[in-house]
């Protein structure tokens, strides 16, 4: 577990070798619709100017409501989807400028564990083949070396070698997710995006898989970019948290700070929506999030949270607050919350 800072200014990350991956003003826009009878195409701003540094061996959690751009950001960071603009640097190398060959070579260092282990594993392949595939495609070694590595990977995720002969449907959900993790780790990456990787699992299995991820992080010196909507998991597992709303980061801080004293109204409201174990506190007077999430095709002017914010004032409707550093944290709000 390591502490870390976000640097809204550009140009400093490349010199810092403790930073594994950084983005500068990263955007991903999609054009939708258009045509003879549909009028001009419209633009969906799925990611809209994300600047972020992820440091070696930390777990950085990205939270936000469904549709806020979390998954898109994870995929664009790995260039599984191409960004519209901005830069992504991995250990100082600009991924956005890399051709197919060099990107393919680097890809083994940058991996992803998906949410649904069943959908992400080929049902017609035995587990051994599923694990051998990424090794072969990166020229790992002889067939015997690949077999040994597959066995080693299974042991690493707490499964016996007998499973190499099984098909995914013969495994439980937790075991399948362990295979998803083993496959991601096959080529010894150091940066892993976990995209809602424990969300589909029962709570008890979820805890086991989180413990496994934590042990593997220590053992293999991994850095995690952990995408989730589950704040209880974030609190237990993450070193730092980024809160995303409509394609932008609105707050970044350490897990401890963020849970103890959220600065952005959206962070505070997300946290207050988590059910409380003490029923006496359920009726407490708390400000509420208003209305629905605006469409990413028709973003509000000014602060894009203002249509839902109980603290909005006139300036919020016209001026975008931008992400500012405040006491070592980063927040995009004209009126950050106080104690
Ligand atoms: Fe609310 Fe204004 Fe802050 Fe936006 S800038 S979060 S509308 S107080």
The CA distance from 179 to 193, in Å, is 15
In sequence order, what are the residues at sequence separation of 6 or more whose Cβ sits closer than 8 angstroms to the Cβ of residue 107?
78
Minimal-distance CA residue to ligand 1 atom 6: 333
Q: Name the residue of 321, 323, 326, 330 whose CB sits within 8 Å of the most ligand 1 atoms, as the mutation to test its pocket.
A: 321
How far is 198 from 117, CA to CA, in rounded Å?
A: 10
Q: What is the Cα 239 distance to its own chain's centre? A: 13
pLDDT tens for 239-294 read 999 999 999 999 999 999 999 999 999 999 998 876 655 545 544 566 777 778 88
Token pair of 94 as six digits:
């600009």
Output the six-digit token pair for 152.
């080693």
Question: Tokens in use for 124?
Answer: 């017609």
Strands (DSSP E) found in the chain: 19-32, 42-55, 59-63, 85-90, 93-94, 110-113, 191-195, 223-227, 240-245, 248-254, 324-326, 329-331
Mutation pick for ligand 1 pocket among 245, 246, 311, 322 (CB with most ligand atoms within 8 Å): 311
Best probe residue, ligand 1, of 316, 320, 336, 338 (max atoms within 8 Å of C-beta)? 316
β-pair type (85-90, 59-63)? unpaired
Ligand 1: residues whose CB is within 6 Å? 265, 303, 305-306, 309, 311-312, 316, 321, 333-335
DSSP state of 158: T
Long-range contacts of 294-299 (CB under 8 A, 24+ apart): 294/246, 296/44, 296/45, 296/46, 296/67, 296/69, 296/246, 296/247, 297/32, 297/42, 297/43, 297/44, 297/45, 299/45, 299/48, 299/246
Contacts of 36 (CB under 8 A, 6+ apart): none
Query: Over its length of 339 residues, how does the chain's per-residue pLDDT go in tens digits?
Result: 443 334 443 333 444 459 999 999 999 999 887 777 777 788 999 999 999 999 999 999 999 998 899 999 999 999 999 999 999 999 989 999 899 999 999 999 999 999 877 788 999 999 999 999 999 999 999 999 999 999 999 999 999 999 999 999 999 999 999 999 999 999 999 999 999 999 888 899 999 999 999 999 999 999 999 999 999 999 999 999 999 999 999 999 999 999 999 999 999 999 887 665 554 554 456 677 777 888 888 899 999 999 999 999 999 999 999 999 988 899 999 999 985
Nearest-angstrom CA–CA distance, 242 and 250? 8
Alpha carbon distance 120, 117 (integer Å):
5
Backbone angles phi, psi at 287, to 5 degrees: -65, 150
Spatial neighbors of 49 by CB under 8 A, at least 6 apart, are 25, 26, 27, 86, 247, 248
pLDDT at 221 (0 to 100): 96
Query: Which residues are CB-neighbours of 192 under 8 A, at least 6 positions away?
Result: 111, 112, 113, 184, 185, 222, 223, 224, 225
Q: Are 290 and 272 in contact (CB under 8 A)?
A: no
**Residues 256, 200: Cα–Cα separation, whole Å:** 26
How far away, in angstroms, is 268 Cα from ligand 1 center? 12
């Amino acid at each position: 577990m390591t502490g870390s800072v976000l640097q809204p200014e550009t140009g400093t990350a490349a010199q810092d070798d403790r930073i594994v991956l950084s983005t500068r003003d990263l955007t991903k826009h999609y054009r939708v619709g258009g045509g003879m009878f549909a009028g001009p195409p419209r633009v969906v701003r799925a990611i809209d100017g994300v600047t972020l540094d992820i440091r070696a061996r930390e777990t950085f959690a990205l939270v936000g409501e469904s549709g806020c751009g979390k998954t898109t950001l994870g995929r664009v960071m790995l260039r599984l989807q191409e960004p519209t603009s901005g830069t992504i640097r991995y250990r100082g190398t600009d991924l956005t400028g890399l051709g197919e060959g060099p990107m393919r070579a680097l890809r083994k260092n940058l991996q992803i564990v998906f949410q649904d282990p069943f959908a992400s594993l080929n049902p017609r392949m035995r587990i051994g083949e599923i694990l051998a595939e990424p090794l072969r495609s990166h020229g790992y070694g002889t067939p015997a070396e690949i077999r040994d590595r597959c066995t080693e990977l299974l042991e690493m995720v707490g499964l016996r070698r007998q499973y190499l002969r099984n098909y995914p449907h013969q495994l439980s959900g937790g075991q399948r997710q362990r295979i998803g993790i083993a496959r991601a780790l096959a080529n010894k990456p150091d940066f892993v995006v976990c995209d809602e990787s424990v969300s589909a699992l029962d709570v008890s299995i979820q805890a086991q898989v989180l413990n496994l991820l934590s042990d593997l992080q220590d053992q293999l010196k991994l850095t995690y970019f952990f995408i989730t909507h589950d704040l209880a998991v974030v609190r237990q597992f993450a070193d730092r948290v980024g809160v995303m709303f409509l394609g932008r980061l609105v707050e970044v801080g350490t897990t401890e700070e963020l849970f103890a004293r959220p600065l952005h109204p959206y962070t505070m409201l997300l946290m207050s929506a988590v059910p409380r174990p003490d029923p006496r506190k359920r009726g407490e007077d708390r400000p509420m999030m208003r209305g629905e999430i605006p469409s990413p095709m028709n973003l509000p002017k000014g602060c894009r949270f203002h249509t839902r914010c109980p603290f909005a004032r006139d300036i919020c409707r016209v001026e975008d607050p931008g992400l500012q550093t405040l006491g070592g944290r980063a927040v995009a709000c004209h009126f950050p919350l106080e104690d």
